Amino acid sequence: MWRHRSRAREGWRDTVVEQGLVFPVTKMPDGAELPYWNEDAWYEVTMEEVEALEAATEELWAMCLQAVTHMATTMTDERLGLPPGSLEVVRRSVEAGDPALYARFDLAYGADGSIKMLEINGDTPTGLVETGIIQWNWMEDVMPEMDQWNSVHDRLIAGWRKLRRSGHFDGDRLHFLYDLGEEDSYDGGEMEMTVHYLMDTAVQAGWVALAHPVAEVGWNPDTRDFRDVHDEPLRNAFKLYAWEEMLAEPFGRFVVDRAEARPTRWIEPAWKVLLSTKALLPVLWELFPRHRLLLPAYFDEPRDLERWVAKPLHGREGDNIRIHLDDMLEDVVMPGGYGAEGWVYQAYTELPSFEGNRVVLGSWIVDGEAAGMLVRESDSMVTDYFSRVAPHVISDGLAPSEEQVAQWLAERVGPDAPSLA
């Protein structure tokens, strides 16, 4: 993998906004702007590297599904820092075989070819617009003869179509709900942007869709069901809102207490809460000790680790991360509001650095199949709100024909994809 400097397209900022990326820059605390979408550089990967990352992603996904069933049957809400009754909802979801759509692994890809799982964003991953639309259009503008590890868009449509035809859902109307946040917690439109992109792919797959903030969802005590902003019942709903937060709220208790007369079918399903907690990391290390794709991880204490990263169970965007290295005078400690729910300690691994840009790869899994890559750069040891996204191309892969793409999709989306046991 190599990093190359390049000249940004003229008018790139307006271009990516028109294509759906509503925050092309990040506002710094001092008011300055830092590019969030960074096309002053691009990354080169080979087909051999892509195949290794693809295989690792699918192997990790299968391991995560094993961990879900293990956690659902052996752990407690208290151990996982979840609201009371959460695991009972998870168990019902596992038993029902609730289908899922997508997730994103964060990987450290070493110069020696080693691949290590840092974590998985299993419940509310974002970055889809950047991956599926923006970097693809960049490649078509700048290097149209090349290829990219990126079937996210096609696989999302195929995934939605499979869900619609699965018989698991109640009709073909689907609500898309997102968390706007409040005042200072507003994310600049990331949730809306992601949800509306997902809604577009769902509509292309035949769903009838409506989107609005999750705060506008109501509860009808007479019919005992959730209602949308037009007082229509929510039969099927996609939510970009974390399960652990939802189940802690009064409305979430209706789910815990099985108060619904006709339960809403949720995407992502309730069992995804177990892929949204860092508790997954020590569980994977216990189930698959010394696995080449994992870093040692433990609950509550670093044990024998000399270089470690402390992660709050429900932390996001690097908040409250603490990095301890044996040769540093002081630990790196990130601010934030997480930690009361509990901690895990994971062995520290050096992120590859390209001219001072520390890189984490976001590797997508859609309907059980590896689907593409997102490159994020950071100046600091923690990939946080100020990280940047840069595009990539496969240097020894030429742009495939539509027929080739259709064949690849047909070959890989099949009965071999792992599922919950």
Q: How far apart are the first and last CA of the chain?
A: 36
CA pair distance 133, 108, nearest whole angstrom: 24
SS3 360: strand
CB 286 within 8 A of CB 336: no
Q: How many CB atoms lie within 10 A of CB 23?
A: 15
CA pair distance 309, 293, nearest whole angstrom: 17
Look at residue 220 in the predicted model and tell me its pLDDT.
Answer: 97
Q: What is the pLDDT along the chain (421 residues), one digit of tens a residue?
A: 999 999 999 999 999 999 999 999 998 888 889 899 999 999 999 999 999 999 999 999 999 999 999 999 999 999 999 999 999 999 999 999 999 999 999 999 999 999 999 999 999 999 999 999 999 999 999 999 999 999 999 999 999 999 999 999 999 999 999 988 766 666 678 889 999 999 999 999 999 999 999 999 999 999 999 999 999 999 999 999 999 999 999 999 999 999 999 999 999 999 999 999 999 999 999 999 999 999 999 999 999 999 999 999 998 878 888 999 988 888 888 888 888 889 999 999 999 999 999 999 999 999 999 999 999 999 988 888 889 999 999 998 777 788 887 777 777 655 566 777 6
Dump the DSSP string for 174-226. Answer: EEEEE----GGG--TTHHHHHHHHHHHHHHHTT-EEEEEEGGG-EEETTTTEE
Measure Cα distances from 171 to 200, 207, 227, 236, 269 in Å.
18, 9, 16, 8, 17
* Beta sheet of 41-45, edge-to-edge order: 2-5, 41-45, 392-398, 146-147
Look at residue 72 in the predicted model and tell me its pLDDT.
Answer: 96
Which tokens in the block code for residue 51? 């195949």
CA pair distance 92, 98, nearest whole angstrom: 9
At residue 210, φ and ψ (nearest 5 deg) are -140, 135
Which residue has tokens 């939802």? 246
CA pair distance 372, 367, nearest whole angstrom: 13
